[in-house]
Amino acid sequence: MTGLLPRSGWLLLLAGAAITALLYWPALDGPPVLDDAKEIGALVRAAQEGYRWHGADLVSSSGLLGRPLSRLSFVLNALAGHEFRLWKLTNLVLHLVCGVLLFLIGRRVLVRFVDRDGVALLAAALAVVWLLHPLQVSTVLYTVQRMTILSTLFTLCGVLTYLQARESQLAGRAGAWRYFLLAFICLPLATLAKENGALLPFYLLLLEAILPDLRWKRGGRGLAAFHALLLLPFLLGAPFLLDHFLHRAMPGYAVRPFTLPERLLTEARVLFRYLQMTLWPAPELLGFVHDDVAISRGLLRPPATLLSLIGLAALAALAVWQCRRRPLFSLGVSFFLIGHLLEGSIFPLELMFEHRNYLPMYGILLAVTGLVPAGRGLPWRGLTILLLAVTGLLGWRTAQRVDHWGDIGSLVAHIHRVHPRSERINSYLARSLAAQGRYREALALLGPRGSPGLAIQRLVLECRATGSLDGKRLSAVTHHPGKRLDIYGSMELMELAGGVLDGWCRLPEEAMAGFLDTILREFAMWPRDRYKLLMYRAHLLNAAGDLEGALGVLEQAFAVQRYPVPLFLASEWLSGRGETGRARSYLERARRHAAERLEDFSAPEASASRRLEEALKKTPAGTGAAGEEQRPMEVPE
C-alpha cells in the first residue's frame, strides 16, 4: 500500500492534467484579445504570409529587458505555421508543465508536514486545484501572457533545483553544487521571459527562512555566497534601475488616472480581490477586464482602503508570528505577497489583471492547507478528498469560463454583464454596433461622459454615421479636464485622422492637423503613441500642401523614437517635389540610423530609393510635381 501512494499521486496529477487539457481544448480556436494585437499581431500576420524572422522580433516593447525568451517562443510559433490555435496550445502545454513542477515542489515542501504516505496525493491535489482553477483561464487563453507562464516555469525550475540542492547538502551527498548552478541559471531565464522572474531570489530566501529543516543549516559559506550571488545583479543594477524608474517609469503616471500613492492604496484592495477570486471564484468577480476598479483617493475614499491596509498588515504580522507554529501557513502567505511585489507596487501599470495572480495563487492554496488543525501531521486523507471535491466545482466553473473564451462575442458579452461600467468593454461593444450601422445605440452606450479616449471615439462614430464632422465638436476633447491619452484613446485618434486622410470623414486637413497639434501639446501620452500621432499630423499637413511644416513634424517624430521611418518618408515627399538634393540627404541619413537598429527597414528604404530614382530621371533641375501621397508607414513592433 505504501508503495502505491506515491504512484497514486502521479496518477491523480496526470488525470487532473488530462481534464485541464480537455476543458481548454474547445477554446484554442479563440481570437486574439487586447495586447495580443500590439505584442504579437505583426508576427501572426507574418506567419500567415510566410514568415522570415529578424533580430528585432526578439525584443518586446513591454518590460525593461525586452522579454527576449518569451518573444523567441512567439517567433518559433510563427515559424511553425499560420494556425493561431498553435499559439494558444503552446500556452496550455506550458501551463501543464508548470502544474507538474508545482507537484514536484509540493512533494518536497509537504514532506515536512504530512505523513510520508500522503505527501504525493496531497501535493498532486494542490497542483490539480491550481491547474483547474477558473482564474487561470485568462492567463492560459490570453496568448501574450505566455510571458507570465514562461517566467513562472523557469521560476519553479529554480525553486525545485534549489530544494534539491539543499536536500543533497543536508544528506551529506556530493554534487549539490550542480543543483545550485541550475537554480542560478534559472534566474536570468525567468527574468528574460518576464521581469517577475527577478523575484526568484526572494522565493528562495523565503524557503530558507521558514522551512524548519533548512534555516541556513549545514550551508556554510557556500550557501551564503550563493544567495549573495543571486542578489548581486540587483546591487550592481541599482543605479540603472533607479534611473529607469525616475526617468521612464515615473513619467508614466502622467498617462494614468492615478498617482503613485493612489496606486499603492488601491493595490491593497486589489490584493484582497485576488484572495477573494481564488477562494470564491464567483462569475461576478471574474471577467478578465478590470479597468472599472475604483481608485483609492485616500485612506477612507473608499473606506475599504483603510480596512485593506489593516488586513494586509495583520496578515503579514500573522505570518511572522506563526512562522514556527504553522510554517506552511506562513510560507503560503509570504509566497503570495512576494509574488505581487513588482506588479502590485510602484510601477505605473494598470491596476488589476487576473494573470498577475497566476503563480501567487499557489501561496494561497498552501496557506489554506497550513490552517488545517493537525496533531503530528496534517490529515492528508481528509484534505485530499476535500481538495478533489473542490476541484470538481472548480472544473465546472472553468468549463463555463472557457466556453466564453472560444468566441469573442461571447467573451465580450460576458465581461459586459459583470463589468457594465468598463470603458474598454463599452468601447469595444460600441465599435461592434457601429460596424452593424447601429450608430445611435453605439453612441448611447458610450454616454456623454468618460475619458478623452471615449470622447474621441464619439467623434469617430459621429463621422462614420454622417460622413462629416463639425470642427466645433473637437472642443469636446481639447477642453476635457483629463489631459491624458492612453493607448486606446490614441488608437481612436489615429482612426479619426485616418478617416480625414481617406475621405470618409469630411473635415479640412488643416483643421485636423491643428486638432492633433493641440492634443500633442497639451495631453500626456506614451512616447510610442506620440510618435504615431506625429506621423499622422505630418501626413495631414502634407495633404494640405504644407510640405515644410510636414517635414518639421517628421523631425519631431524621429526625435521621439529614433526610428528612421520619418526620414525615409521625408525623402519620398521631397522626391515627389523634385527636390532631389534634400531627398538624397534625408535618404542617406535614414540609412545611417537604420543600420544602427535591429528592425528591418528594407521596405521603406526601397520605396524611398525608388522614388528618388524616378525623380532624378524626371527633374534634372530640382523641381517637379508633388508625389503620390502615402499613409503612415507601420512602425516595426
What per-residue confidence (pLDDT) applies to 377? 56
For 407, the grid coordinates are 468566441
What per-residue confidence (pLDDT) applies to 274? 97
% the chain with pLDDT above 90: 60
Question: Which of 364-373, 444-453, 553-562 has maximum average pLDDT?
Answer: 553-562
Cell 502622467 locates to 254
Closest by Cα among 277, 306, 262, 270 to 291 = 270
What is the torsion angle, in degrees rounded to the nearest 10, for the CA atoms of residue 277, residue 281, residue 285 and residue 286? 90
Q: Secondary structure of 580-626 in the HEC alphabet?
A: HHHHHHHHHHHHHHHHCCCCCCHHHHHHHHHHHHHHHHHCCCCCCCC
Buried b / exposed e over 447-458, threshold 16 CB at 10 Å, is eeebbbbbbbbb
Lowest-confidence region among 35-39, 235-239, 291-295, 463-467? 35-39
Distance CA 396, CA 401 (A): 9
Q: What is the pTM of this model?
A: 0.90
The string of DSSP letters for 385-424 reads: HHHHHHHHHHHHHHHHHHHHHT-HHHHHHHHHHH-TT-HH
The helix (run of H) or strand (run of E) holding residue 484 is strand 484-485
Q: Residue 40 is which amino acid?
A: I
Distance CA 459, CA 496 (A): 8
For 15, the grid coordinates are 488525470
Judge whether residue 374 has pLDDT over 80: no
The confidence band for 376, taking pLDDT boundaries of 50, 70 and 90, is very low
What per-residue confidence (pLDDT) applies to 637? 36
Domain boundaries, the chain: 4-258+331-348+355-408, 422-525
120 and 8 Cβ atoms separated by less than 8 Å: yes
Question: Which of 81-95, 192-206, 435-449 has maximum average pLDDT?
Answer: 192-206
Distance CA 567, CA 591 (A): 9
CA angle 346, 351, 353 (to 5 degrees): 120
183 and 162 Cβ atoms separated by less than 8 Å: yes
The string of DSSP letters for 501-532 reads: HHTSSB--HHHHHHHHHHHHHH-EE-HHHHHH
For 35, the grid coordinates are 495586447
pLDDT of 135-164, one tens digit each?
999 999 999 999 999 999 999 999 999 999
What per-residue confidence (pLDDT) applies to 622? 44
What per-residue confidence (pLDDT) applies to 447? 81
Question: Which of 66-70, 74-78, 202-206 has maximum average pLDDT?
Answer: 202-206
Q: Which has more pLDDT, 414 or 270?
A: 270
% the chain with pLDDT above 70: 93
Cell 500567415 locates to 48
